[in-house]
């Protein structure tokens, strides 16, 4: 079970359980995503100001620790509203890369352009972002 690779220390943040469950189920259902998961080293924060919830995801080569709040200096900070964050999981992956030219991808691109989704560090850490998208995509 992929869940054993995830340590959720953000018990008070219900959103953390959704992330953990989504990732664990995704890895169980798509074993090829485990290879990508094992390659991720980096820190990603997800901040949902509208529900006053934030978590920090610490990836260390096949393990994930989830902490409450924004901890330290993450490589990426994804900041958006709670009803838009789920859309990020709908980005397809084609030829090993996120695909932004279908309906779900274009929606995310528009939200990025309008500032409805902000990703700090995306230019400095494109590989972490690509790998994160691949393991979290449900498509």
Partner 1 sequence: MAKFKAMTQEWLDAYKAAIEADPEYKPMAKDWEGSVALVCNPDPSKGVPETIYIFMDYWHGDVGEFLVCDKAKAESATFVMTGDYSRWKQVALKELDSTKALLQGKLKMRGDLPYVVRNIKTVNKVIDILGNVDTLWPDEM
Asked if 82 interacts with partner 1 (CB under 8 A), we say yes
Of residues 28 and 72, the one with the C-beta less far from partner 1: 28
Residues in contact with 98: Cβ distance below 8 Å, sequence separation at least 6, in sequence order: 91, 92, 105, 130, 133, 134, 137
C-alpha triplet 96, 102, 108: angle, nearest 5°:
90
Asked if 138 interacts with partner 1 (CB under 8 A), we say yes
The minimum distance between CB 29 and partner 1, in angstroms, equals: 6
Question: Is-contact 100 114, C-beta < 8 A?
Answer: no
User: What does the binding site for partner 1 look like in residue numbers (CB under 8 A)?
Assistant: 14-15, 17-18, 21-22, 25-26, 29, 48, 50-51, 53, 82-83, 85-86, 89-90, 138-139
């Amino acid at each position: 079970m992929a869940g054993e690779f995830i340590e959720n220390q953000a018990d008070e943040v219900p959103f953390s359980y959704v992330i953990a469950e989504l990732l664990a189920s995704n890895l169980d259902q798509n074993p090829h995503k485990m290879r990508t998961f094992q390659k991720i080293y980096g820190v990603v924060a997800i901040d949902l100001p509208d529900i006053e919830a934030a978590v920090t995801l610490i990836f260390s080569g096949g393990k994930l620790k989830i902490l409450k709040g924004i901890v330290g200096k993450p490589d990426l900070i994804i900041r958006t509203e709670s009803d838009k964050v789920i859309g990020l999981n709908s980005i397809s992956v084609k030829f090993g890369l996120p695909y932004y030219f279908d309906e779900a991808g274009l929606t995310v691109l528009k939200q990025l352009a309008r500032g409805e989704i902000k990703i700090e560090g995306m230019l400095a850490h494109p590989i972490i972002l690509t790998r994160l998208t691949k393991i979290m995509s449900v498509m």
